Structure 1
């Protein structure tokens, strides 16, 4: 018995090629020869325990990162605080602590490049909720 092949629709034959072409053209960063910006932000985590906030930071990059701990107090009469800026050296660790009189509402770390780290501008940071 002779087997006959069913014709494959043209769309089914060209679909993989079309999908690959779309993926290549939609992500120019993937094939760009220009290097991306050098990251500079230290990895930081914050912990809130009662009236004290602590930031643990590690800088895995070869550039200096200037960080600052910001603490927002829960009580309206309690003054929010910002630590003095501190430099985290390349491959270095840093611990910052600050406190409120009563409970801490949130704490976060802002980053600022030092000596014009490429691709970085201004300070940035995001608040952390208590316990995280």
Structure 2
């Protein structure tokens, strides 16, 4: 009777062994030790403010927060929908470490798209 129960238990033991072995192999290359397939040994630079853009009717506002130790120059760009409406590009403004900056703009009729550009500040 014991010999017949082993064939039922064998697949379960094999599945358990695979479940325990696969996560261990997958964790051998962590993001810190494994490089990208196309970029060898280049470390990611901590730079760039995180920006949120809100469009309400014809008005656009962008709020940018810089969590990194290097200043980021940000500018708000707005494309307006009618061909005759003037697109706007704000003057780049520095967002220092741990600072938050708000930028506003508008179109006369309709906003087509808005985005924020980033540039490293001169040291």
Among 47, 52, 58, the residue aligned to 1:40 = 47
2:38 maps to what in 1?
Answer: none
CA separation of 1:24 and 1:30: change in aligned 2, threshold 3 A: farther
Among 96, 103, 107, the residue aligned to 1:100 = 107
1:120 maps to what in 2?
Answer: none
Q: What is the SS of the residue equivalent to 2:31?
A: helix
2:78 maps to what in 1?
Answer: 71
TM (norm. structure 1) is 0.67
Q: What is the SS of the residue equivalent to 1:20?
A: helix
CA separation of 1:72 and 1:17: change in aligned 2, threshold 3 A: same
Q: Which has the larger radius of gyration?
A: 2
Q: What is the SS of the residue equivalent to 1:29?
A: coil
- How well do the aligned residues superpose, as a CA RMSD in angstroms? 2.9
TM (norm. structure 2) is 0.71
1:84-112 CA deviation, whole Å, 9 max, x = no partner? 11110000011111222222122111112
1:6 maps to what in 2?
Answer: 6
Query: In 2, distance between residues paired with 1:23 and 1:30?
Result: 14
Q: What is the SS of the residue equivalent to 1:19?
A: helix
Worse-superposed segment, 77-86 or 3-12: 3-12
Q: Point out the structure with the larger helix share.
A: 2
Q: Point out the structure with the larger strand share.
A: 2
1:121 maps to what in 2?
Answer: none
In structure 2, stretches of 5+ residues that fail to align are 35-40
